[in-house]
Amino acid sequence: MSVSVQAIVTVRHLFVSPGHNYFGRHGQPAGAHPTLDVPSVRCRAGQGIEGDRFFGYRPDYNGQITFFAWETLLALRAHFRAVALSPAVFRRNVVTEGLPLPTLAGQRFHLGEIEFEGIAEAKPCHWMDTAAAPGAEVWLRGRGGLRAKILSDGVLLPGPVRFSAPGLLDLPAAG
């Protein structure tokens, strides 16, 4: 018998960037490509998000889209006393509230009509100490977000969205 968890979660922000600021730049200065907070993203199966730096990067890439928990941002702001820290600094595509990101690695799930496959944690890199706060890289380990593949085409918008995941037995707390 297949069990499916369903809930309403919130998409707080959607981000794209036309270029890489950190990826592939170890030992070099950070890039200066903006992280754009956009009103929608068009997800393309097997390709990524149109207009984003990883769109069409390589076949079967496991980071076609990345997710970050709003709850993690709030905890990081409190821990580092950085109340004005923008979610854009993490350079994840989708900032969600109420979505249990760590439990979705290895799982297929839907946000609205779009199907995703969670692959692994979007591990924080050493740049987080500069972009967010000194010590942020270590603090974010285990809560850096989720790398995923896009399995079906669709448009994702900010606001409440139906989340479903066949096979999850419970919807644990997010963040």
Give residue-wise pLDDT tens across range 128-169: 888 889 999 899 999 999 999 999 999 999 999 999 998 765
Does position 175 have pLDDT exceeding 70, yes or no? no
End-to-end Cα distance, the chain: 29
pTM for the model stands at 0.89
- Cα separation of 92 and 131, whole Å? 13
- Kindly state the average pLDDT of the residues 69-82: 96
Full set of structural domains in the chain with CATH: 39-166 (2.40.33.20)
Does position 170 have pLDDT exceeding 80, yes or no? no
Give the model's pLDDT for residue 24: 60
Residue whose pair of structure tokens reads 């820290």 in the numeric block: 85
